[in-house]
Structure 1
C-alpha cells in the first residue's frame, strides 16, 4: 500500500488532485506565455513608433502629417505625395492600408471613423481630438486627387 492510496479512496480526493494538477498546468502555461512575450495589448507608443509602422507598411512612406488615436490603437498619416495611410491594431500586431477615397470617412465630434477598400481590414474609429475635423476636411480631397 502506497502513501496515496488512503487519500485516493476518499470520494473527493481524486477530483481535488486533478483540479490542482490542472491549475498548476494553467499557471505554468501562463508563465511561459509571459516569458515569451506572447499576446498582450499593443499600442502606438509615440510618433516615432507610428512613423516606423508607416515605413514598414509602405516602404519609403515618410509622414509629413501624423495623428495618433488617444488610446494608441491606431493612427493616420499623410506623406508629401498626398498618400494617406491608416494604421490599426490587428491582434497583437499592427496593419496598415492606404486610403484612396473619402467614401468610408465619417466624422462624429472628435471621433473619425474610417474604412478602406479592403473589407477584411474593417472599420476603425480613432479619437483624434481637435484633429478629427482637420483630417475629415482634408480627406474629402482624396477622390479629387485620383481623378
Structure 2
C-alpha cells in the first residue's frame, strides 16, 4: 500500500527515474574501477620499458633506453641499431619499430616521432638532454618510406 501511495504523489515517476539513473551510473563506475579502466597508465622504469619492447616484438633486446619525463613513452635501441618507439595507447602500451627518421622532429628537449603506421599516430617525447642524441642516432635509420 505504501508504494501505491508514493506512486500517486505528483513527480513520483520522475523521482524513481532519477534514483534508477543514479544507481546505473554508480554500477558503471564500480565496473570501470574493477576493470582498471580510466587509470593513469605510465611506464614505471627502464625494466618495464624493456618488457614492453619484448612484448611488442619477441626477441627485441634493447641496449639503450630513453624514457619520456612524463613516462608516457620510450625509445629503445637494440644492438642491431633498430629503434623501437613505445607509446601509450589507451590504457595499454604499444610499440613500433621506426623504419626511417623522416617522421622525427627535434625541438630542444622534445622529439616528435611518427611511424609508417597511420593508426599508431605521432607522439612528442620529453627526453631532455637525451633528445639531441636520439635525434642524431635516428638519422642512421635512413629515409626509407
TM-score, normalising length: structure 1: 0.91
Instruction: Tell me which residue corresponds to 1:72.
Output: 71
Q: Report the number of matched residues.
A: 144
Instruction: Tell me which residue corresponds to 1:116.
Output: 115
> Structure 2 regions of 5+ residues with no counterpart?
none
Equivalent position SS for 2:118: coil
Residues 39-98 of structure 1, C-alpha deviation per residue, up to 9 Å, x if partnerless?
423111111100000011111111111111111111000011100000111111111110
Structure 1 residue 35 displacement after superposition: 2.0
Give the alignment's Cα RMSD to 1 decimal: 1.5
Instruction: Tell me which residue corresponds to 1:15.
Output: 14
Equivalent position SS for 1:118: coil
Instruction: Tell me which residue corresponds to 1:56.
Output: 55
Instruction: Tell me which residue corresponds to 2:92.
Output: 93
Residues 13-59 of structure 1, C-alpha deviation per residue, up to 9 Å, x if partnerless?
21112111111121122112212323423111111100000011111
TM-score, normalising length: structure 2: 0.92
Instruction: Tell me which residue corresponds to 2:140.
Output: 141
Residues 85-125 of structure 1, C-alpha deviation per residue, up to 9 Å, x if partnerless?
00111111111110111100001111100001111111111
Equivalent position SS for 2:2: coil
Instruction: Tell me which residue corresponds to 2:27.
Output: 28
CA distance in 2, matches of 1:64, 1:126: 19
